[in-house]
Amino acid sequence: MNLLDPELIVAFLTLAALEIVLGIDNIIFLSIMAAKLPLHQQARARTIGLAGAMGTRIALLVSLSWIAKLTADLFSIAGMGFSGRDLILSLGGLFLFWKAGGEILLMLRGESHEVGDRGGDRGVTFAGIVVQIMVLDIVFSLDSVITAVGMTDNLPVMIAAIVTAVIVMMFFAGPLSRFVDANPTIKMLALAFLVLIGGVLVLEGVDVHVDKAYVYTAMGFSVAVEFLNLRMRRKMAELSASALR
């Protein structure tokens, strides 16, 4: 295999970029969940979560025959077939609904941060957060790997692209987590994204295809508007401070 083959390089760069885009929802989820832990445990939880995502993706890639079986129908209801992939996506989407929806309700009640004795949210354990991150890793990894398999059949290129994407995500996970936690409106927007993604996963699980381009365009537009709101609030705060002097 010629590592300087232009086709391989293009496939690697394209797939790595796609994996990063597909990993945005994963980063949002693990950042919000890790923020529930004491500060000294958050970075470790994020690293374990992303390392687990990388391990899951690679394990799925080296078992392509098993992935192929996941697309075969296991049973049907009212003439609609359900495969292993459909069940995983549907359950993962419902899990996202439950977690993100629950977090939104807590924020609306002002109960999203009941601090325990050692910092972090009351009743939250490191193991519990890591397990929840791992559960969603499986769902996000399945979608990511199926996309990778559809783009190229070169296993080393797929693995290299996934490892590169996860390393990039590890680099940005910390700053993103701190930014989301420091800005409640951004956190609410991120949770709304997770509810949206949960809905998309459930629809995919019942064979209703949703073009991801529309989803990510809507997310990008919402983020742009929220950044304008943040800048406006900062400017208004500066003007108010100046007026009081």
Say how far apart CA 112 and CA 1 lie, in whole Å.
52
Tell me whether residue 119 is in a domain. yes
The mean pLDDT of 185-202, rounded to a whole number, is 83
| Structural tokens at position 198 | 């949960």
Tell me whether residue 101 is in a domain. yes
Tell me whether residue 217 is in a domain. no
Count of domains observed in the chain: 1
Domain that holds residue 206: 6-210
- 103-112 pLDDT tens trace: 888 888 876 5
- 34-87 pLDDT tens trace: 888 888 888 888 888 888 878 877 887 777 656 666 667 777 777 777 787 788
Tell me whether residue 59 is in a domain. yes
- More confident: 121 or 202: 202
Say how far apart CA 173 and CA 52 lie, in whole Å.
14
The mean pLDDT of 179-190, rounded to a whole number, is 80
Say how far apart CA 144 and CA 162 lie, in whole Å.
9
Tell me whether residue 235 is in a domain. no
Cβ atoms of 42 and 34 closer than 8 Å = yes
Q: How far apart are the first and last CA of the chain?
A: 69
Question: pTM of the prediction?
Answer: 0.71
Tell me whether residue 241 is in a domain. no
Cβ atoms of 121 and 114 closer than 8 Å = yes
